Chain A
Amino acid sequence: MTKPAIKAEGISKLYRLEHGGAGSKTFRDLLTDMATAPLRRFRQIRGSDVSMEDFWAVQDVSFEIQPGEVIGIIGRNGAGKSTLLKILSRIVEPTRGQVTLRGRVASLLEVGTGFHPELTGRENIYLNGSILGMKKREIDTQFDEIVAFAEIERFLDTPVKRYSSGMYVRLAFAVAAHLQPEILIVDEVLAVGDADFQKKCLGKMREVSKGDGRTVIFVSHNMGAVTTLCNRALLLERGQLVAEGPSSEVVDRYLVPVAEGVTGAFDLRNTTARADNFPKIVVAARVMDESRRLTLTASPFQKIRIELDLVPPFPMRTPMVDIGFNNARGERIFLVSSNLSPTPLGSANGISTTSVTFEMPPLYPGRYEFDIGIMPVSGRYIDHITPGGTIEVLHDNYLQTSYPYFVEMGAVLVPSRWESAPAVEVVERETARII
């Protein structure tokens, strides 16, 4: 019977927000404001002023984490993730509730906390290590490994202010990665550094949790990393814990916005995404799944249907319709076009609905925007909406890998099968073929 490594019971954190204030309206107000300002400031800082608004950054959050678990905490900006981590790392005290931690805790909320630019790499390893809670003896025994991990051997005795930002981050993470706490708390630190190093860090983190049964709590916006690294995830919304469970389920829940009114149908009559001089031909777009239910998400290889309601101002004999998909960086990833299909579209006049069905390619998970363009015959758009709608490609790990996904891997992630045969067999086979 193991006790939980972390047990949070109803933790809440209250912050007081200073009200915008009405401002000084007259010179007299200004003068009285100035006169009473110090007193008011004092009250505000003490938190006894009535013009403060209460804000619960974290509200009544309870959970248990077993030793050896890797937990992802996800949520939008301002959902309370960082505050929760700060409570767990003892940096801020909860307003209510309590947390029981079993084991040595180390937290990594920022890369290189306490690094001093004037000190050399070597000096900073010891300084940063001890700030993170390592003993000198521990740093001594791991020193060479840290240096090798950071790949800074040649610059060990150079002040870190002369380091490139990449070297700086590598060194900082290397120190932290060699911490050996029972509980490791990591905030979005992997957002920095180059892709290769990120992979290395994620690998190291996996090693940490699997190898020695350490508990890791991990906040990230990289849903790929969360799904592959974490066995469970917690989803925070406005300071409250709204979902908890296997990471892929919680990630899906996070990626599907449940806000009302957002369904996958896009009203394009008065969209600002259309240039002013275009006539309003496409008035609505609907994204649907195979059973013609509106959807905002698609899995790779899923059949997707997009319907466009057209109101052409003049008859179009063979209109051409393009729908082009762009990724979050605005790069065109693929296009479905009536021109690029076996059969052209029939003529359109009056109100009509044009639809296209296609198989969603195995895109890198994330949000994609699609542009809609209409051409009557020739090569100029007569209506062009950029973007006409969005679709979220889900991360359902269709590659069935235990490796995290990275944007740098490419826009399309193609499932593949690999095998290797002993060299002898290959020789035999080749020989057989020759004979």
Chain B
Amino acid sequence: MNNDIAEPLPPSAVPPGAADKGPLREMVIRPRSGWIAVDWRELWEARELLYFLVLRDVKVRYKQTVLGVAWAVLQPFFTMLVFTVIFGRFAKIPSDGLPYAVFVFAGLLPWTFFSNNISQASMSLMNQQSLLTKIYLPRVFVPAASVGSGLIDLLVSFVVFAGLMLFYGVGVGPGVLVIPLLVLLTTAASLGVGLGLAALIVTYRDFRYVVPFLVQSWMYLSPVIYPVSMVPPQWQPLLALNPMAGIIDGFRSALFGLPWNYTTLSVSSFSSIILLICGLYYFRRTERKFADVA
């Protein structure tokens, strides 16, 4: 009935030299070993799948909850409250001259996004084994979907943050325009770590116990509750190897119009991209064994 509508492959799906072989795409399945390149064309063609997986994660998270999306507001808000009391009031950690609540929230925005992405993405494959053993799909999308749905939460957190800024009467500089770029870097870094851990956990289940510990330690190595300026200058480039150092610092510079620390930012950007590449390729390398070990 509708057969005529769906059949022709989109022109982009046919490789340039394929015309003489007929319209059907040929695919060869054979044992592979070593490093396997990322099949970007496949990912592009299946992009709608990523969209539906993200949609599923977002919808499922707030189904059958009383407060619904309010959770995305409450979680960072209460974390901010606790941190402000403990670290701002009691420990009196400096905050670059800003109200500590605003200061710590600006750090929590990218950090919560990053850490949730890692936790969700790393467990995604193990929790959805039927997607590995019962069907073939671009498996990179499964952890990637967790990161995608994290973006929605980040968006909600930004709204809360705007309210907080208004409350404290803190203005925003033109630096906010850099925020999308910083979010992109966070996405890259967390996707890299998430992919790598997801692949590890499918094979070696022990690593799932490592994730919470890793995330917690990582937070103290990132300037969430303290400013980068508290770290001795000679250690700052080393700190910047942690992508979140430069990103969180960049967030604060962008939001509050503080001076930019270009060294930290560029080192962190570089390490974000390295993390993404490493995670992606480790994932690709182990992917062909997923269905055997899952």
Contacts and interface: CB of A to CB of B under 8 A. Distances in A.
Interface stretch (A130-138, A268-276, A279-287, A354-362): A130-138
Interface stretch (B55-63, B113-121, B190-198): B55-63
Interface in B1-50: 1-3, 5-7, 9, 22, 24-32, 46, 48-49
Given A15-B292, A91-B133, A92-B292, A100 B56 contact: no
Contacts of B90: none
B210 to A, nearest CB: 14
Given A97-B30, A101-B27, A138 B131 contact: no
Interface string A94-129: 111111111111010110011010110001001100
A394 to B, nearest CB: 34
Size class of the contact patch on chain B: 35 or more
A132 B2 contact: no
Given A100-B26, A101-B29, A103-B25, A45 B1 contact: no
B63 A118 contact: yes
The winner among A86, A87, A93, A119 for most chain B CB atoms within 10 A is A93
Contacts of A131: 49, 52, 131, 135, 137
Given A99-B29, A101-B28, 9 more contacts: A89-B135, A90-B136, A93-B31, A110-B135, A118-B60, A126-B52, A130-B49, A136-B48, A141-B5
A24 interface: no
Contacts of B292: 15, 92
Given A15-B292, A45-B293, A91-B136, A119 B59 contact: yes
Contact of A212 (B3, B130, B131): B3
A342 interface: no
A142 interface: yes
B291 interface: yes
B218 interface: no
B266 interface: no
A102 B288 contact: no
A96 B31 contact: yes
Contacts of B236: none
Contacts of B89: none
A91 to B, nearest CB: 5
Interface in B138-181: none
B95 interface: no
A102 B9 CA distance: 13
A180 interface: yes
Contacts of B30: 93-94, 97-99
Contacts of B26: 100-102
A141 B4 CA distance: 11
A182 interface: yes
Nearest to A5: B24
A261 interface: no
Interface string B202-222: 011000000000000000000
15 contacts: A3-B22, A42-B204, A45-B204, A91-B132, A97-B30, A99-B29, A105-B27, A114-B130, A118-B64, A127-B55, A127-B56, A130-B52, A135-B48, A136-B48, A212-B3
